[in-house]
């Protein structure tokens, strides 16, 4: 809500493009060209005038000590974070010269652009940056650290059909929140869940931790990490076996129902109970509730994809509303990512370059790639919109790569991240409040445009300007290339069949909505975006891709030596690792009292969490809200949050999910021991 203004202050509208589903409309208070406060505005009808505590602290991000104010060239050792001040001309001259040298000596594939998630804005990624790296013939990055398996599964079954709108959860009589914690991410769903509960709706939460939402659930299924697939298949088997599958819906709207039933058949309640470590009666209670209550809204998060079976798990979860016939009514169906609702807007349209036939590099295996020498090496990495040292699995191998003296590293970021400390050149980037941006939610069905609220801090520049300048310096610019924010916005919006409407709506109101309206109902207003508008329950490409076939279960990776499952979900402090510089307090590892007691660990003790990949030293938090056999160290923390400077990613394998090449963070298996006094 807007705060009252003091003399000299003004309100300026903006919109949040950070990696969060909600896409809040913002009301920014500005005085003398500086942001003094940020709150929500009513423009986005879903977020309704309030924002998260994370972004309320954004002024500290803008003006804090970690802000990079001008270009810098390394003057200390790699990782030390020491830079001498440089002009933009000198810094970009050096970067362009090194790019040219790598391309000329061993080809463009020696260059790796690395970006992910720092902004979901159309203007800060896949524009002039893609043009530069495509025309250079650089290696191509597969952006798979999040949402790749779920995207593959959703596309395979439904062609990425838009999901239930947040506001329609208020109409549900059963809500299932599976592998997601909306109390800390995508927070605007919570009031709609509460509204439904006040009406008498039942709530089921599937999560290894007793989250705030789980405390208010009618049924909390605290499953063992990585066993979402057995749980979903057992629920499905029960529906088929008890005659509760909606045969009429399956016959009319799906392919593959019999094959799906055949694949679910081995998953008795008892077998699923052994894998999930849940009581069989609880799994049955879930299946019964799901069969009995309608409308039933299923909110599927990204937790279930973060393991070896992640793609199949998401596919099985998303198949449940089809099997039980939950579509066709307001508040019925599922929500995953709604980004594809804007599928006819081509985010790459401003690049004006074709992807070259160069090698693809899966970002989850960055460490392996960076430590390589010889012909297959990467000799120059350009990091923007990302902090890979803190966000990519197998952290110590990523660090070893960044320590290579013969790797030239450029980091273009608003703040001095842990990755930036390893840079040879740092470049100051604008935040979304210092540039024009167009962004869309992947929860809320809105697209918004916002102009700069303040001038750039220090010498910061927007992404599109810097990459356009590098194109010019490397003789890669061509007449007619969109280079300004206005030209890029025009190219992106013009790619849509509704481009003129979107443009008008964004220019006049700052916001645009889907063609299907603000809250389309699945199988009424919106249908699967498959060739025949039917759900493909066992799509052949997915079946071929998964190592054991779609819905095939790869067993628990626990070993006698490393018996605890490490999970690293999001918290209410950071958006992935964004804003991590603002949270300097030590972060503990949470563990169940039984696991702590059997290891002689008490609340607040120093501990070492370790496996064959690495170790983390921090304090212990003894917490009965974490299920036994599981330990929890949050996602998105920075090196200053632990004693060792390492985080959960130092313990995460760089193995890949069954579909989509995703990250298997939740397959980390570890041991914890007392670390003694400091």
Binding site for ligand SF4 (CB under 6 A): 16, 18, 20, 22-24, 51-52, 54-55, 187, 575
Nearer to ligand SF4, 213 or 348 (CB): 213
- Which of 294, 173, 295, 279 has the alpha carbon at shortest distance from 234? 279
Q: Which is nearer to ligand SF4, 185 or 276 (CB)?
A: 185
Q: How far apart are CA 222 and CA 224, in angstroms?
A: 7
Buried b (16+ CB within 10 A) or exposed e, 57-71: bbbebbeeebbbebb
Rounded Cα distance between 44 and 543, Å, is: 39
Q: Pick the closest to residue 146 from 434, 570, 491 (CA basis).
A: 570
Asked if 641 and 542 count as a contact pair (C-beta separation under 8 A), the reply is no
Residues making up the chain, counted from first to last: 678
Our CB check for ligand SF4 shows the closer of 54 and 421 to be 54
For the CB of residue 188, give the shortest distance to ligand SF4 in the complex, in Å: 7
Distance between CA atoms of residues 478 and 484, nearest Å: 14
Which residue lies nearer to ligand SF4 by CB, 301 or 653?
Answer: 301
- 266 vs 21: CA distance, rounded Å: 36
Q: Which is nearer to ligand SF4, 334 or 442 (CB)?
A: 442
Task: Name the minimum Å distance from CB 38 to ligand SF4.
Answer: 8
Asked if 376 contacts 631 with a C-beta cutoff of 8 angstroms, the reply is no
DSSP string, 193-222: HHHHHHHT-EEEEE-SB--HHHHT-SEEE-
Instruction: Report the nearest approach of ligand SF4 to the CB of residue 364 (Å).
Output: 24
The smaller minimum CB distance to ligand SF4, of residues 16 and 626, is found at: 16
Q: How far is the CB of 100 from ligand SF4 (least distance, A)?
A: 39
Strand order in the sheet with 34-40: 9-15, 25-31, 34-40
Name the minimum Å distance from CB 54 to ligand SF4: 6
Nearer to ligand SF4, 17 or 367 (CB): 17
Distance CA 395, CA 319 (A): 35
Closer to ligand SF4 by CB, 17 or 230: give it: 17
User: CB of residue 575 vs ligand SF4: minimum separation in angstroms?
Assistant: 5
Nearer to ligand SF4, 506 or 613 (CB): 506
Q: Which two tokens stand for residue 614?
A: 């690495």
DSSP character at residue 663:
B
Nearer to ligand SF4, 51 or 380 (CB): 51
Task: In whole angstroms, give the CA distance from residue 144 to residue 364.
Answer: 7
DSSP string, 88-149: HHHHHHHHHHHHHHHHHHH-GGGEEEEE-SS--BTTSSSSHHHHHHHHHT--EEE--SSSHH
| Minimum distance of ligand SF4 from residue 3's CB (angstroms) | 16
CB atoms within 10 A of CB 673: 13
For ligand SF4, the closer CB: 54 or 461: 54
**Which CB sits closer to ligand SF4, 51 or 297?**
51
The residues pairing with 630 across neighbouring beta strands, listed in sequence order, are 565
* Backbone torsions φ then ψ of 621, nearest 5 degrees: -120, 115
- DSSP H or E segment with residue 498: none
- Asked whether 511 and 505 are in contact (CB, 8 A), the reply is yes
> How far apart, in whole angstroms, are the C-alpha atoms of residue 537 and residue 523?
16
CB atoms within 10 A of CB 507: 12
Give the nearer residue to ligand SF4 in terms of CB position, either 377 or 439.
439
Nearer to ligand SF4 by Cβ, of 51 and 319: the residue is 51
CB of 377 to ligand SF4, least distance (A): 37
Q: How far is the CB of 47 from ligand SF4 (least distance, A)?
A: 6
Q: Which is nearer to ligand SF4, 190 or 607 (CB)?
A: 190
Nearer to ligand SF4 among residue 155 and residue 185 (C-beta): 185
What's the CA gap between 359 and 13, in Å, rounded? 42
Instruction: Give the shortest CB-372-to-ligand SF4 separation in angstroms.
Output: 36
Reading across the β-sheet that carries 437-440, which strands appear in turn?
A: 437-440, 446-450, 511-513
- Give the shortest CB-443-to-ligand SF4 separation in angstroms: 9
Q: 639 pairs with which residues across the strands?
A: none
- Please give the span between the terminal C-alpha atoms of the chain, in angstroms, as a whole number: 46
Q: How far is the CB of 7 from ligand SF4 (least distance, A)?
A: 27
| Shortest CB 440 distance to ligand SF4, Å | 11
Q: Give the DSSP letter of residue 536.
A: E
- Alpha carbons within 13 A on the beta-carbon side of 559: 9
CB of 441 to ligand SF4, least distance (A): 7
Report CA torsion sign: 223, 226, 227, 233. positive
Q: Which residues of 353-391 are buried (b: 16+ CB within 10 A; e: fewer)?
A: beebebeebbbbbbbebbbeeeeebbbbbbbbbbbbbbb
């Amino acid at each position: 809500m807007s705060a009252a203004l003091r003399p000299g202050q003004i309100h300026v509208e903006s919109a949040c493009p950070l990696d969060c589903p909600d896409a809040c409309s913002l009301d920014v208070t500005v005085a003398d060209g500086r942001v003094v406060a940020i709150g929500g505005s009513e423009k986005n009808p879903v977020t309704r005038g309030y924002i998260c505590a994370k972004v309320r602290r954004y002024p500290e991000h803008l003006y804090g000590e970690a802000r990079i104010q001008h270009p810098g060239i390394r003057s200390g050792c790699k990782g030390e974070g020491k830079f001498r001040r440089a002009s933009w001309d000198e810094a970009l001259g050096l970067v362009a010269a090194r790019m040219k040298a790598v391309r000329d000596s061993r080809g463009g594939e020696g260059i790796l652009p690395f970006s992910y998630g720092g902004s979901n804005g159309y203007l800060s990624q896949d524009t002039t940056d893609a043009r530069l790296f495509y025309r250079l013939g650089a290696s191509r990055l597969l952006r798979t650290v999040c949402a790749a398996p779920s995207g593959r599964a959703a596309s395979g079954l439904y062609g990425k059909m838009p999901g239930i709108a947040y506001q329609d959860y208020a109409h549900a009589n059963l809500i299932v929140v599976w592998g997601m914690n909306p109390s800390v991410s995508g927070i605007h769903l919570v009031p709609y869940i509460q509204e439904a509960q006040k009406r008498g709706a039942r709530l089921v939460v599937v999560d290894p931790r007793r989250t705030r939402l789980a405390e208010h659930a009618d049924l909390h299924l605290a499953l063992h990490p990585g066993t979402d697939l057995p749980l979903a298949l057992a629920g499905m088997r029960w529906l088929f076996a008890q005659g509760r599958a909606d045969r009429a819906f399956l016959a009319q709207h799906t392919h593959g129902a019999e094959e799906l039933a055949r694949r679910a058949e081995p998953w008795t309640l008892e077998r699923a109970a052994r894998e999930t470590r849940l009581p069989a009666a609880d799994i049955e209670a879930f299946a019964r509730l799901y069969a009995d209550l309608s409308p039933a809204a299923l909110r599927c998060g990204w937790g279930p994809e973060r393991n070896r079976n992640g793609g199949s798990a998401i596919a099985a979860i998303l198949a449940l509303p089809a099997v039980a016939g939950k579509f066709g009514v307001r508040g019925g169906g599922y929500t995953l990512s709604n980004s594809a609702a804007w599928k006819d807007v081509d985010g790459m349209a401003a690049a004006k370059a074709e992807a070259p036939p160069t090698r693809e590099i899966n970002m989850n295996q960055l460490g392996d790639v960076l430590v390589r020498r010889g012909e297959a090496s990467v000799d120059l990495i350009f990091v923007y919109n990302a902090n890979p040292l803190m966000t990519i699995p197998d952290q110590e191998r990523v660090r070893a790569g960044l320590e290579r003296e013969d790797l030239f590293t450029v980091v273009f970021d608003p703040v001095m991240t842990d990755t930036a400390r390893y840079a040879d050149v740092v470049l100051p980037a604008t935040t979304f409040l210092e540039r024009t941006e167009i962004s869309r939610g992947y929860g809320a069905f809105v697209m918004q445009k916002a102009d700069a609220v303040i001038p750039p801090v220090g010498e910061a520049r927007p992404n599109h300007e810097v990459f356009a300048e590098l194109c010019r310096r490397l003789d890669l610019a061509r007449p007619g290339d969109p280079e300004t924010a206005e030209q890029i916005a025009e190219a992106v919006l013009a790619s849509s069949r509704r481009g003129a409407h979107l443009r008008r709506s964004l220019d006049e109101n700052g916001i645009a909505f889907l063609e299907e309206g603000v809250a389309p109902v699945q199988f009424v207003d919106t249908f699967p975006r498959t060739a025949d508008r039917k759900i493909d329950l066992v799509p052949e490409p997915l079946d071929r891709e998964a190592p054991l076939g779609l819905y095939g279960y790869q067993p628990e990776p626990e070993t006698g030596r490393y018996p605890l499952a490490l999970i690293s979900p999001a918290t209410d402090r950071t958006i992935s690792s964004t804003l991590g510089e603002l949270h300097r307090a030590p972060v503990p590892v949470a563990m169940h009292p039984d696991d702590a007691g059997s290891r002689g660990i008490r609340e607040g003790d120093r501990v070492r969490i370790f496996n064959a990949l690495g170790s983390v030293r921090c304090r212990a938090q003894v917490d009965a809200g974490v299920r036994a056999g599981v330990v929890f160290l949050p996602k998105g923390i920075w090196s200053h949050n632990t004693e060792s400077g390492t985080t959960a990613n130092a313990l995460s394998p760089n193995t890949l999910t069954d579909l989509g090449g995703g990250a298997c963070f939740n397959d980390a298996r570890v041991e914890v021991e007392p670390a003694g006094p400091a």
